[in-house]
Structure 1
Amino acid sequence: MAAATGVRAAVAARAEGIVKAYGAGETRVVALDRVSIEIGSGAFTAIMGPSGSGKSTLMHCLAGLDTVTSGRIWVGETEITGLKDKKLTRLRRDRIGFIFQAFNLLPTLNALENITLPMDIAGRKPEKEWLERVIATVGLADRLKHRPAQLSGGQQQRVAVARALAARPAIIFGDEPTGNLDSRAGAEVLGFLRRSVDDLGQTIVMVTHDPVAAAHADRVLYLADGRVVDDMANPTAELVLDRMRRFDARGRVS
């Protein structure tokens, strides 16, 4: 995991006082309440919190998949709040990767074709050396010609991880990426995500409810009622579980 060096790390994404609200008047619901955070480059950050805490909303806003009611968000040095749709779409395509619970693979394409599909659509050729490193990192070299139906769930998610990595994005967002996997396959995928940070210098932000999954991260952010209520470095599954027990559903220390 990332070591403290005393040197200020580069920031892959940051939010400044963001608010995300739905509705108005008595029906107004605040999903994010003046959240300010920084996501360090080359690090693995997990976001946790009870259902309705705003963790997925925060990820979607940081990734440019949803807009904020107020506040500002940057990906690298680019402010994405206020970007026109066309520029935002291009930024997501070129600088952001996504891994979701559903693998979202095309059944008619083999593993390699699924990995390179986003770049093919964008008219870009993958960097051969980088692609080979990614495939080696996720352990897919002997499965590249297999279609999704010929792969296990864990292997399909590895293809999804490789697809996110292949375009060399500035940051990858994962929304419960092991939620559809059994514990063994989930552990494999989390190991590959960890290696992509350690060996490839990737930046990953993952929403999860699982203390074991969060323990693979360098840092865990806890949300409750749309606010960041804690920030843990160097987590272990035991520390994460203990911290979760200390917060009730409203984010107060028990």
Structure 2
Amino acid sequence: MTTAVTIPKAGGNGGRSAVAAAGRSVTKSYGAGETRVVALDAVDVDIMRGRFTAIMGPSGSGKSTLMHCLAGLDTVTEGRIWVGESEITGMKDKKLTQLRRDKIGFIFQSFNLLPTLNAAENITLPMDIAGRKVDREWFDRVVETVGLAGRLKHRPTQLSGGQQQRVAVARALAARPEIIFGDEPTGNLDSRAGAEVLGFLRRSVDELGQTIVMVTHDPVAASYADRVLYLADGRIVDEMANPTAESVLERMKSFDGRGRTS
């Protein structure tokens, strides 16, 4: 049973229970005075539960910063952020760490695997830390889908970069978190392996109600999402529902090298 939470509306009429994460007037800046750099500029955003959201934009547009702030990996300069019913702005470190461990999954391009653990142990590590029992049937399904069945006893140094990324994807999915954040999750995979992983992420949304937020620069990857948010100069400047690779690519062409829309 969840308790109601008052999140100021950012437009639209989605119910509170439909929001997996939200930000209001989210601002992130670095430095002060003339050297101040604004990475996020008063962003309002809702991440809908049970949906696949892609975040795109030119280099330096703020897309990774927005994801990191929504996931509680970075603090905001101004504004408020919620994950589910919990406001994380101002949350104590211990409580925030517990929330990230229990409710959030992460897929990073840098893998973040522990070198002393084999693939299977890296996949189950978040559940082991949380003292949660591993669902073996789901574990086997995840492992088979990402093509790791024959590599579970291998340590990261015995795996290729693509195989290490598969382990990272499997780790995020195996714990069935409430929301998964992915930063270029297929960036180190070839097109075939990337399509397999994206297909599984898509099915985890459709069949299991998983919520996924993915930063990507790849129009093909973005086409697996339900919705694409476009950032430029630290602001959400557009969004697209039911994207195709072609429509995403066409939209991206309207950004010039300075990160502004034409």
Q: TM-score, normalised by structure 1?
A: 0.90
Between the two proteins, the alignment pairs up a number of residues equal to 249
CA contact (8 A) 1:102 1:180 kept: no
The aligned amino acid for 2:176 is: R
Structure 1 residue runs without a partner (length 5+): 1-5
Q: Which amino acid aligns with 1:22?
A: Y
> For 1:121, which of 124, 129, 142 is the aligned residue?
129
User: Could you tell me which residue of structure 1 aligns to residue 6 of structure 2?
Assistant: none
Q: Which amino acid aligns with 1:216?
A: Y
Give the Å deviation of 1:210. Answer: 1.0
Contact in 1 for aligned 2:232/2:259 (Cα 8 Å): yes
Matches within 5 A, 1:209-248: 209-248=217-256
Structure 2: distance between partners of 1:137 and 1:195? 11
Q: 1:25 aligns with which of 30, 33, 44?
A: 33
Paired residue for 2:56? 48
Q: What corresponds to 1:208 in structure 2?
A: 216
Runs of 4+ in 1 over 4 A off after TM superposition: 6-9, 249-253
Farther-moved stretch of structure 1 (43-52 vs 136-145): 136-145
Contact 1:224 1:249 survives alignment (8 Å): no
What do residues 16-64 of structure 1 show as CA deviations (whole Å, max 9, x unaligned)?
1111111111111111011001101111111000111000000000000
**Could you tell me which residue of structure 1 aligns to residue 5 of structure 2?**
none
Unaligned runs of 5+ in 2: 1-12
Identity %: 82
Are 2:226 and 2:242, in contact at CA under 8 Å, matched by a contact in 1?
yes
- Once the two structures are superposed, residues 89-120 of structure 1 have per-residue CA deviations (whole angstroms, 9 ceiling, x without a partner) of 11111111100112222334322111111222
Q: 3-state DSSP class of the match of 1:126?
A: coil
Q: How big is the alpha-carbon RMSD for the aligned residues of Structure 1 and Structure 2?
A: 2.1
Shift of 1:10: 1.2
User: Superposition pairs for residues 189-204 of structure 1, below 5 Å?
Assistant: 189-204=197-212
Pair 1:12-2:16 in alignment: no
Instruction: Say whether residues 1:183 and 2:188 are aligned partners.
Output: no
Within 1, Cα distance between the matches of 2:156 and 2:207? 26
Which residue identity does 2:236 align to in structure 1?
A: V
Give the distance between the partners of 1:111 and 1:98, measured in 2 at CA. Answer: 16
Output one character per residue of 1:201-226: Cα deviation in whole Å (capped at 9) or x when no partner. 21111111111111111111000000
User: Contact 2:162–2:188 (CA<8 Å) still a contact in 1?
Assistant: no
Instruction: Give the Cα–Cα distance (whole angstroms) in 1 for the partners of residues 100 and 111 of structure 2.
Output: 18
Q: Is the 8 A contact 1:59 1:207 kept in 2?
A: yes
Write the letter of the residue equivalent to 2:73: L
Alignment check: 8 A CA contact 1:170 1:202 kept: yes
| SS of residue in 1 equivalent to 2:253 | helix
Secondary structure of 1:246's match? coil
The 8 Å contact of residues 15 and 73 in structure 1, kept in 2 or not, is answered as: yes
Find the aligned partners of 1:196 and 1:140 in 2 and give their Cα distance: 18
What are the within-5 Å matches in structure 2 for residues 103-122 of structure 1?
A: 103-122=111-130
Q: CA deviation at 1:86?
A: 0.7
Give the aligned residue type for 1:89. T
8 Å contact 2:233–2:260 — kept in the other structure? no
Q: Which 10-residue stretch deviates more, 168-177 or 6-15?
A: 6-15
Write the distance in 2 (CA, Å) between the matches of 1:250 and 1:146: 44
On the 8 A contact 1:97/1:164 being kept in 2, the answer is yes
Deviates more, 1:129-138 or 1:24-33: 129-138
Contact 1:217–1:234 under 8 Å retained in 2: yes
SS state at 1:34 partner: strand
Task: Provide, for residues 231-251 of structure 1, a one-character-per-residue CA deviation record: whole Å limited to 9, x for no partner.
Answer: 100111100010011233456
Tell which deviates more after alignment, 158-167 or 90-99. Answer: 158-167
2:66 aligned counterpart, secondary structure: helix
Q: CA–CA distance in 2 between the matches of 1:18 and 1:104?
A: 27
Kept in 2: contact 1:43–1:204 (CA 8 A): yes
